[in-house]
């Protein structure tokens, strides 16, 4: 790469939040037609850096330069998102920002055209969008409400929104988090074709396999500083891990174990909801002691309903649940906890903690009847604090202390709090629903190690995850959920499971 093909330059960007130095004099360049992977642990500064690029945050020091159509680098006014858009910078967020009641074309035009002009200019806009789709290979049905589109189609609409605004620089934040392997490969092929026409891409991801396959160059942030860059051709997962955490991160290893007796049996479970996300159709599953059963699938195919039934939050319309051989007469959260089910919820902030309560109180919230927690209706605060301090040490829960509100913890430390609460009770069944979503490599490795330890102890683990690599590395048996139905994967390979995730069941 040469100076002449630089399309973006971040020079000494620095941002403080009180005493926390979130970004410390970060320098970064992006070149024409390049895919740059931006990596780092949670809290490394990636989000803060991109927010300064887009004008959402004002830097305390440093500046941004963007090349115009003539190739000349010019300063980007700080703190003005519209200036970033006008300079040809587009971002595709991990969580879709689409209006589901509007069709795809209106979503693409929304914000780029005056509201009153959407229909008046639709013919001209449609022609431009179709030209972009033909050039990029990103096809989407323009006249269908977004709420009826597949996840992959919604992802393409998000990218088309940015390209419609003539983006020359595209930032992709975890773009494959909810895609099947086939959809992810197709997306990468489409984007690679666009880079050959001059598009430049910053690619943020926790999936090192995709980073190594898709990027040209890798930049790594650690504790707010850029600690290094490397050409992707010269990198491997071990090198990247060492750059991200400052040391080698050994992967959790699953050893063969003989499964024991059934600890959780679902027999003909049906739930009728408003959509596939809330529904289950005659679902049956047996989980045994000393095994991890993985549930793969694209988001919105019944995972939420399955987790809610096992957690006791939803009562099935039909079917029976047995835990350790005993039928459950009542399906409610307290009954499930007492039966021996430990729950790691999908949304750790909403369902995993009571944010206003202290860290210590959250660690005992599911066993308030225990004599070491409460006597004669009074909480034993000294014992609760000592218990929480021990768990915080054992599970590396970092924060201002165990007496502060749990909401003040970072996402990764909230997850460690939940893990400590669940594993401390040694439940017979562990429901792990998206347990590493949004976690960095070190935290995700620790979660995997704890799940494997529970399996070795004799627990049965039901692992629900949209990360197929996580499923394949941890699960003894793999099932795919699609439209509320469960099918066992006979072949443990990405292509076959990916086709099942897309609904192609043999």
pLDDT, mean over the chain: 88
Position 323 scores a pLDDT of 96
- Pairing mode, strands 378-379 and 20-31: unpaired
Model confidence at 468, pLDDT cuts 50, 70, 90, reads confident
Q: pLDDT tens-digit profile of 177-205?
A: 767 787 788 888 888 988 998 999 999 88
CATH entry, 3-88+168-245, from 2.102.10.10, 1.10.1060.10, 3.30.70.1340, 3.40.50.300: 3.40.50.300
Topology alike, domains 3-88+168-245 and 252-340+425-506: yes
Q: May I ask the CATH class of domain 252-340+425-506?
A: alpha beta
Q: Which of 425, 419, 411 is nearest to 392 (CA)?
A: 419
Q: Tell me if 103 sits within 8 A of 118, measured CB to CB.
A: no
DSSP 428: S
Residue 84 to residue 474: CA distance in whole angstroms: 42
Domain boundaries, the chain: 3-88+168-245, 98-153, 252-340+425-506, 355-420
Q: Residue 279, exposed/middle/buried by CB under 10 A (0-12, 13-18, 19+)?
A: buried
Crossing angle of the two packed helices 122-136 and 181-196, in degrees rounded to 10? 100
For residue 282, the model assigns a pLDDT of 94
For residue range 266-320, list pLDDT tens digits in order: 999 999 976 666 789 999 999 999 999 999 988 778 898 999 999 999 999 999 9
Per-residue pLDDT of 100-110, as tens digits, reads 888 999 899 88
Do the beta carbons of residue 432 and residue 344 sit within 8 Å? yes
Provide the terminal-to-terminal Cα distance of the chain, rounded to the nearest Å. 48
- What is the percentage of the chain residues whose pLDDT exceeds 70? 94
Spatial CA neighbour of 36 closest among 194, 266, 250, 220: 220
Q: Is the dihedral of CA 280, 284, 287, 292 positive or negative?
A: negative
Outline where DSSP puts E strands in 156-261: 169-173, 200-204, 217-222, 225-231
Choose from 68-72, 268-272, 408-412 the range with maximum mean pLDDT: 268-272
Query: What's the pLDDT at 418?
Result: 93
Confidence of residue 249 (pLDDT cuts 50, 70, 90): low
Identify the residue whose tokens are 């992709």.
Answer: 172
Q: What whole-number distance in Å separates Cα of residue 174 and Cα of residue 91?
A: 11
Going by C-alpha positions, the residue among 316, 301, 292 that lies closest to residue 435 is 292
Cα-Cα-Cα-Cα dihedral sign, residues 173, 178, 181, 186: negative
Higher pLDDT: 188 or 440? It is: 188
């Amino acid at each position: 790469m040469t100076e002449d093909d630089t399309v973006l330059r971040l020079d000494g960007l620095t941002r403080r939040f009180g005493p926390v130095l979130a970004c410390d004099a970060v320098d970064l360049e992006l070149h024409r037609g390049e895919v740059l992977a931006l990596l780092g642990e949670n809290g490394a500064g990636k989000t803060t850096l991109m927010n300064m690029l887009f004008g959402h945050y004002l830097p305390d020091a440093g500046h941004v330069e963007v090349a115009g159509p003539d190739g000349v680098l010019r300063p980007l006014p700080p703190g003005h998102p519209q200036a970033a858009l006008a300079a040809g910078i587009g971002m595709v967020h991990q969580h879709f920002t689409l209006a589901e009641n509007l069709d795809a074309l209106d979503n693409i035009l929304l914000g780029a055209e005056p509201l009153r002009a959407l229909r008046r200019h639709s013919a001209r806009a449609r022609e431009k969008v179709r030209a972009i789709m033909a050039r990029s290979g990103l096809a989407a049905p323009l006249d269908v409400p977004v709420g009826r589109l597949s996840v992959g189609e919604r992802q393409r609409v998000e990218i088309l929104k940015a390209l419609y605004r003539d983006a020359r620089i595209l930032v992709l934040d975890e773009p494959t988090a909810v895609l099947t392997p086939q959809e992810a490969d197709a997306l990468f092929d489409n984007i690679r074709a666009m880079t050959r026409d001059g598009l430049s891409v910053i690619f943020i991801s926790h999936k090192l396999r995709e980073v190594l396959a898709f990027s040209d160059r890798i930049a790594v942030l650690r504790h707010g500083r850029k600690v290094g860059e490397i050409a992707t051709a010269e990198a491997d997962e071990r090198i990247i891990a060492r750059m991200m955490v400052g040391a080698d991160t050994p992967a959790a290893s699953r050893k063969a174990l003989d499964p024991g007796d059934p600890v959780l049996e679902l027999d003909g479970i049906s739930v009728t909801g408003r959509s596939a996300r809330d529904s289950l159709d005659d679902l049956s599953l047996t989980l045994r002691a000393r095994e991890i059963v993985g549930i793969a699938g694209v988001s919105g195919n019944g995972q939420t309903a399955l987790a809610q039934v096992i957690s006791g939050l939803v009562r099935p319309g039909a079917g029976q649940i047995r835990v350790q051989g005993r039928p459950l007469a009542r399906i409610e959260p307290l009954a499930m906890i007492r039966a021996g089910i430990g729950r790691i919820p999908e949304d750790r902030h909403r369902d995993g903690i009571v944010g206003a309560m202290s860290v210590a109180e959250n660690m005992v919230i599911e066993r308030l009847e225990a004599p070491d927690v409460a006597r004669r209706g009074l909480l034993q605060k000294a014992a609760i604090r000592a218990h929480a301090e021990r768990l915080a040490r054992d599970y590396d829960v970092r924060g201002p202390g165990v007496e502060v509100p749990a909401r003040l913890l970072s996402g990764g430390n909230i997850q460690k709090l939940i893990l400590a609460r669940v594993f401390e009770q040694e439940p017979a069944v562990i429901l792990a629903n998206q347990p590493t979503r949004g976690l960095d490599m070190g935290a995700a490795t620790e979660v995997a190690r704890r799940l494997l330890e529970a399996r070795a102890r004799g627990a049965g683990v039901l692992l629900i995850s949209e990360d197929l690599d996580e499923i394949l590395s941890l699960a003894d048996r793999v099932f795919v959920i699609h439209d509320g139905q469960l099918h066992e994967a006979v072949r443990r390979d990405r292509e076959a499971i990916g086709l099942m995730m897309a609904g192609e069941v043999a």
